[in-house]
Amino acid sequence: MIAKKTETKPKKATLAPKVKKTTTKVNIKLGAPLAHGVGRRKSSVARAWLRRGKGDIIVNNLNFKEYFDTEVTRLEAATPLRVVPHADKYDAHINICGGGKYAQADAVKLAISRAFVAQDETLRPVLRQHGLLTVDSRIKERKKYGQKAARRKFQFVKR
């Protein structure tokens, strides 16, 4: 009988210990919403509700500074609150689904703007002046049959 030699593989050493990202979920007792708005961009949809508060933006039960990871997306999402003069009296609670972070920030901007217009119609000229009620309707073009992509053709081979 031949004895089999068993080899054990050395365990891989991890370079850095795993760090858990801590996020604080916001649990707020919600009052009745004053206004509602829907914003869309590419494949993301944002639904916003305005309530009386102190100017917070809550996105998917997180503070928007934790949800949006770059400063560009944070500025984009909070644009309506900077433009409207009495925005610090309202909290915006937002649900987002679909798309990437940039498209979601653009959808949040449109949803908050529409909610402000639904709450107070006199804000429409101010928001329109800053381009916050304009919908960016560009979406990805679909792939066509017989082609490599939406417009890219297969390479022509002569021989």
pLDDT digits (tens, 9 = 90+) for 63-85: 999 999 999 999 999 999 999 98
User: What would the pLDDT profile of 14-40 be if each residue is shown by its tens digit?
Assistant: 565 565 666 666 666 667 889 999 999
Q: Encoding tokens for residue 74?
A: 């944070």
Does the residue 47 lie in any domain? yes
CATH number of the domain encompassing residue 102: 3.30.230.10
Does the residue 29 lie in any domain? no
Q: Encoding tokens for residue 51?
A: 């309530």
Q: Encoding tokens for residue 43?
A: 């494949």
What is the pLDDT, as a whole number, of residue 32?
Answer: 83
With beta carbons less than 8 A apart as the criterion, state whether 50 and 119 touch.
Answer: yes
User: What would the pLDDT profile of 106-120 be if each residue is shown by its tens digit?
Assistant: 999 999 999 999 999
Does the residue 1 lie in any domain? no
Distance (Å, rounded) from C-alpha 51 to C-alpha 54?
9
pTM of the predicted model as reported, rounded to 2 decimal places: 0.78
Q: Encoding tokens for residue 143?
A: 């792939």
Whole-number percent of the chain with pLDDT over 90:
74
Q: How many domains are there within the chain? A: 1
What is the pLDDT, as a whole number, of residue 11?
Answer: 62
What is the pLDDT, as a whole number, of residue 38?
Answer: 97
3-state secondary structure of 47: strand
Boundaries of domain holding 76: 35-129
